[in-house]
Structure 1
């Protein structure tokens, strides 16, 4: 009933409702053919994106657009009436197809001409290139501020085309080299990534002095707001968020074409979507390694309290710096308590206090008598031990994020550390 028509060298980066990877072209075609929702499949490298019509914002790039078309099922007839109907329907279909193709290539030409205006220095990605005026209109003149970072301000916006999607627009400080570096890092690091536990970068603007990044809008704010507000969040929700963050880091470290070190894992950089799924965000300090590269020399990056000790030793860093930061944050998730708080001296530094509580068998104190966590006693002890392993001072003793995930899921035994050789970084 249906056939496939491939068009090489074009792509429509928006509007996919499902992505499949790793996939070859033939399984991609078959998947679209068997899916009643699929009108078009885009195949590039090892990824298959399935989309519905209508398409917009097309561009020329290395990809194959595979259109699903209905085969002519009208039986042949000697009747002149049937012949006229067939000719009329065929002519109408051809006109409709011509209009659709014209609209598609008009969109591509418009996209191409706009892209030529910008002297882009970022790598080729599957991202939408916005004009400054489009984002100014989407944010109503940058009116609704969501938050502030080191290098810019994030505003809420609504795209004026397509599905009127809500977005978060980060307007970077155009006067700093750090802002330019964050812009390039975000686009190059996550422009080609796709994972349910990463905030998706939808597009960017690089027009004159303006540098803006356009992300999915996360309706439930940050993990920091979620953890450190009253009432205390549900234990099950906290554990699911921790597992999601761990899986997102496994993807960055092991499943991308080349490893990506986030370099700034902390609750403020974890956003929560409408389904309360945790998403890793803010790749402004991220470091992409080369293929087959496992370590790199770079200046100190990160936030006080979450920075691994090797940053200060003038040695190459690895993905284990993210493991350290995750370990600190995992303790915060378990305890709903910040890494460092003023008050009782013995509780001032969370990593030290967590270890003492574990060794003294007082997990109830650590979780502030959270009944759900205490009843989940065996997993709770595993999770605390996993966090302690993550913050070991020697990076070689820290597990990989894949092992961390298996520890948290209970698939791998978690031994008790033989020493208290873990570190809190206050620098």
Structure 2
């Protein structure tokens, strides 16, 4: 009796322990012959876990319990986010029906089959014999031979997501899915090209070809040997960067993530946005993924007409949400989604969904009257223009009523027409005439948008801006290019703007003005101030910019309370990145010609944003290798510029060097009120301190930079290289960025000039 009871107890114990043993199964190791089955309950036979249980490999239901996706997902968070899935390129992920299995085989590795044995997918390009599978805590599923050599791994076959520890080699890519729930291949891809460039572009389904990229890392072979990209690396600290051949790093996002506290991933979303996310490992309540950064910064603006189709469907309006760094699509007034379940799909006119009421007694031409009524509704609908979508709606198919009433004579008009019907006909003819004028105007506007100004720039009348600025009463600042006023415009809500009244603009250069404003409008970078609109009306030419909350760098640096050393370095690096973009990443290089703290603005996060770029050329400066009549700002301009020498991008490098010293020292470049004559000219004084080995003297002794002397000395040396009187000795802004990043060694600089005080 006692033995029987013991046997029953052991049996019950084994039944209770079976799920636990299955979950902790083989500590991440799976032997050849192991298999999983897609079951409705999603129990332990449907997945294998990594040793920590952070990741699961197996079957996930696709919306219901009839179809499943073979995938890898985060197992400990509520939404079970998928980071990899079996993918039959170029089609996409195969849907596995209930009862499908995945087997680990010796010669084909992982093989996914339907219940009746038809193969759906298998791990490709395996050379050798698989001994076992290893599921790591990094989320990487690896197939090894008996000597632990890797024969296949999920990290080398990515889908739309990369994880810490994962590397993408040249010609490797990520492909977006079609939607959040459709794992077929989508319209966007991220690729590290053979030349080392990291690109984001859209893909044409019919041809498989790619459109012009809407993001480019510009990590190709440049002036610095080995500067081309070698790998896209997601390191264990959560940093994502393009590793260059020479060991340098081009960071996609300057973030570090605690692996102890957070999960992190980077995903090419179905809407074309590549973003890095974090999720707390320990949480209570409704924890979710939070975005750290995204590429591009605003996809609604960065995909223009020559870069393929936009994010949103026909007639839909694209708006970007800074909070989740994702685009949203909405139909304009008078339109609604063709498919309510496809939020990114086509918007169609509401009048096309129901037949239209008869006009009068249908004495007028039935089809003509009804179509005029249709287009009258189009004319009154609120149609917004987008650069990547159609500018007008598609007319609906004629209603069944249009096909009736064949017993009409000329144009369907009956022999007897009542007076009321005649009046209605005359009204409709007038409406048709007005409609013709409307669409003629629209076509003209489209031509203007296509051939001239960036379609995202809003044209303002002078009267609008006069009212927006309350008669140009609140002045924010004035400089080389004009006076800036504070204003408020209505854009669904009240938006604060900075309105710049330009001076010295050539009045008969309409086409040149539009061309240059177009260039400025298309120039987008996180370290540049964004242009929102313009006014070109007679003698009045104004530009409308976003208004940044923290004012100018000058007011930040030269106030009584000084910024921290960390803030100073962040600001300096941001300015350098903005100038690098203007000089080397724009289609036509832009020379600023007036870099100074008053032209650097700070946003809510104290990120540096360069203002007034492109205005030197707009004010009729012929920039590249030419002489110029505009002299910039004394103290920030290289001495040779005053000697009527050719102007190149090295002009901005000199100005940046001066600004960098001002940021380091938190004082102005020229201080005529300084009691010590040797300190009046900042560039001379700092170089003297550097030569004498007294670099600490340039700092406020309360700053924490005194504990970071190595970084302080590097920053000062970079600045001295930038202010060399001989332009050929100054580095490019790309090299300046690399030196500040620590990618390129900074050598001891020579004396800038014997008489730099002449500036």
Category of TM-score, reference length = shorter chain:
0.7 to 0.9
Of 660, 663, 667, 1:330 maps to 660
Give SS of 1:215's match.
strand
Q: How does 1:78-227 map to 2 (within 5 A)?
A: 94=353, 103-105=381-383, 123-126=452-455, 127-173=457-503, 176-177=504-505, 187-227=517-557
Of 613, 633, 638, 1:308 maps to 638
Structure 1: distance between partners of 2:299 and 2:742: 42
Question: What's the counterpart of residue 611 of structure 2?
Answer: 281
Structure 1: distance between partners of 2:443 and 2:669: 47
Q: 1:185 to 1:359 in 2, by over 3 A?
A: farther
Question: What's the counterpart of residue 230 of structure 1?
Answer: 560
Question: What's the counterpart of residue 386 of structure 1?
Answer: 718
Per-residue deviation, residues 315-365 of structure 1 (Å, max 9, x unmatched) = 322101100000011000000011111221111111111111112222221
CA contact (8 A) 2:550 2:601 kept: yes
CA contact (8 A) 1:22 1:47 kept: no
Per-residue deviation, residues 233-286 of structure 1 (Å, max 9, x unmatched) = 111111111100000000000000011110000011111112211111123653
Structure 2: distance between partners of 1:318 and 1:91: 56
| 2:558 corresponds to 1:299 | no
Across the aligned residues of Structure 1 and Structure 2, the Cα RMSD in angstroms comes to: 4.3
Per-residue deviation, residues 138-193 of structure 1 (Å, max 9, x unmatched) = 223323221223453222112113242211111235xx457999977962551220
Structure 2: distance between partners of 1:48 and 1:377: 51
Residue 71 of structure 1 deviates from its aligned partner by 4.3
Question: What's the counterpart of residue 82 of structure 1?
Answer: none
CA contact (8 A) 1:186 1:283 kept: no
Structure 1: distance between partners of 2:632 and 2:496: 29
Structure 1: distance between partners of 2:707 and 2:545: 39
Structure exhibiting the larger radius of gyration computed from Cα positions? 2
Give SS of 2:588's match.
coil
Alignment TM-score, normalising by the size of structure 2: 0.44
Give SS of 1:203's match.
strand
Per-residue deviation, residues 381-423 of structure 1 (Å, max 9, x unmatched) = 0000000000011111111001101111111111102444376
Question: What's the counterpart of residue 361 of structure 1?
Answer: 693
Which moved further from structure 2: 142-151 or 347-356?
142-151
Structure 1: distance between partners of 2:610 and 2:728: 24
Structure 2: distance between partners of 1:418 and 1:21: 39
Q: 1:334 to 1:207 in 2, by over 3 A?
A: same
CA contact (8 A) 1:183 1:213 kept: no
Structure 2: distance between partners of 1:354 and 1:111: 64
* Structure number with higher strand proportion: 2
4+ runs of 1 displaced by more than 6 Å?
27-30, 38-41, 51-54, 65-68, 90-93, 96-102, 113-116, 178-186
Question: What's the counterpart of residue 339 of structure 1?
Answer: 669
CA contact (8 A) 1:39 1:51 kept: no
Give SS of 2:353's match.
helix
Structure 1: distance between partners of 2:709 and 2:440: 56
Q: 1:256 to 1:386 in 2, by over 3 A?
A: same
Structure 1: distance between partners of 2:586 and 2:506: 25
Q: 1:184 to 1:321 in 2, by over 3 A?
A: farther
Structure 2: distance between partners of 1:186 and 1:24: 28
Residue 225 of structure 1 deviates from its aligned partner by 0.7
Question: What's the counterpart of residue 732 of structure 2?
Answer: 400
Give SS of 2:687's match.
helix
CA contact (8 A) 2:317 2:330 kept: no
Question: What's the counterpart of residue 201 of structure 2?
Answer: 23
CA contact (8 A) 2:671 2:681 kept: yes
Question: What's the counterpart of residue 680 of structure 2?
Answer: 348
Task: Give ranges in structure 1 of 5+ residues lacking alignment.
Answer: 3-19, 58-64, 74-89
Structure 2: distance between partners of 1:422 and 1:321: 19
Residue 131 of structure 1 deviates from its aligned partner by 1.3
Structure 2: distance between partners of 1:43 and 1:305: 40
CA contact (8 A) 1:151 1:179 kept: no
Structure 2: distance between partners of 1:412 and 1:265: 24
Give SS of 1:260's match.
coil
Task: Give ranges in structure 2 of 5+ residues lacking alignment.
Answer: 1-177, 180-197, 205-209, 215-267, 274-297, 320-328, 342-348, 356-373, 386-390, 392-437
| 2:668 corresponds to 1:409 | no
Q: How does 1:253-292 map to 2 (within 5 A)?
A: 253-283=583-613, 285-287=615-617
CA contact (8 A) 2:583 2:591 kept: yes
Which moved further from structure 2: 256-265 or 141-150?
141-150
Question: What's the counterpart of residue 9 of structure 1?
Answer: none
Give SS of 2:570's match.
helix
Structure 1: distance between partners of 2:200 and 2:439: 31
| 2:267 corresponds to 1:45 | no
Give SS of 2:545's match.
strand
CA contact (8 A) 2:318 2:330 kept: no
Q: 1:268 to 1:183 in 2, by over 3 A?
A: farther
Which moved further from structure 2: 272-281 or 185-194?
185-194
Q: 1:417 to 1:21 in 2, by over 3 A?
A: same
Which moved further from structure 2: 300-309 or 261-270?
300-309
* Structure number with higher helix proportion: 1
Higher relative contact order (CA 8 A, sep 6+): 1
Structure 2: distance between partners of 1:240 and 1:392: 24
| 2:576 corresponds to 1:246 | yes
Q: 1:21 to 1:365 in 2, by over 3 A?
A: same
- Report the count of equivalent residues: 377
